[in-house]
Amino acid sequence: MSDILKIGKYEFTSRLIVGSGKYPDFQTTRDATLASGSEMITVAVRRVNITNPDEENLMDYFKGTDVKFLPNSAGCTTAEEAITLFRLTREATGIDLIKLEVIGDTAKTLYPDVIETLKACEVLAEDGFTIMAYTNDDPIVAKRLEEAGAAAVMPLAAPIGSGLGIQNRFNVVFIKEAVNVPVIVDAGIGCASDAAAAMELGADGVLTNTAIAQAENPIEMAEAMKHAVLAGRLSYKAGRIPKRPFATASSPVDGMIF
């Protein structure tokens, strides 16, 4: 309870955020999310229903839980589209905690359009949204997003859904040093060790979807991710030993009996 993740006015005890896409059904989504221990699930509002009460609604499956919904703007390619989407979503659900993503390359890399993301961030911050902004792994852009009003920055580890893990470990550290808001490593996580590595680098949290949803056993992978994030966070806080290019005896050599 003493290690709280604060994002704007919101507080979380879990530093793992999960997604809701690519599951076979809403029940599996619920089961995996609860197994992960996550308190936040992100939802692509254009693809998963949380606004229409007359159709099967994912929010119904999480009634009675402590899991918060984090609407995201997946599918938006301009700032205007994202701004309109979030305004409509807040009107329908009352949710003001959002994951802003504006994709620039929809054909191959799914990399974000950081210019459009910055534009949207400025407007949505003025509108009173608590913004978690998906971005590339660039510390300069991360700082600009913070200045534009983002409550958290979410640099990609690798392309969305690739499972490649962190491709530039140095940039995660540089981003962490550049901003004063939480850094959530997002996209490209493939397995539990990737999540632990992100946390050991100093990330404040990890978001993963495909690695859980498309695992052979999503429930077990969700639980593995929970423990990986906890272990990585504790390892980071404990402080690792320095790396050395030579051996160091693990027991004293002075005072040997023979």
Per-residue tokens: 224:
């593995």
Per-residue tokens: 256:
């040997």
Taking residue 53's Cβ as centre, other Cβ atoms within 10 Å add up to 10
Nearest to 16 by CA among 1, 35, 31, 2: 35
> Is 167 exposed, middle or buried, given 0-12, 13-18 or 19+ CB atoms closer than 10 A?
middle
The answer to whether 99 is a known catalytic residue is yes
Phi-psi region at 87: left, alpha or beta (left = phi > 0; alpha = psi -120 to 50): alpha
Per-residue tokens: 51:
């606004």
Among 9, 22, 68, 99, which one carries the catalytic annotation? 99
Active-site annotation, residues: 99
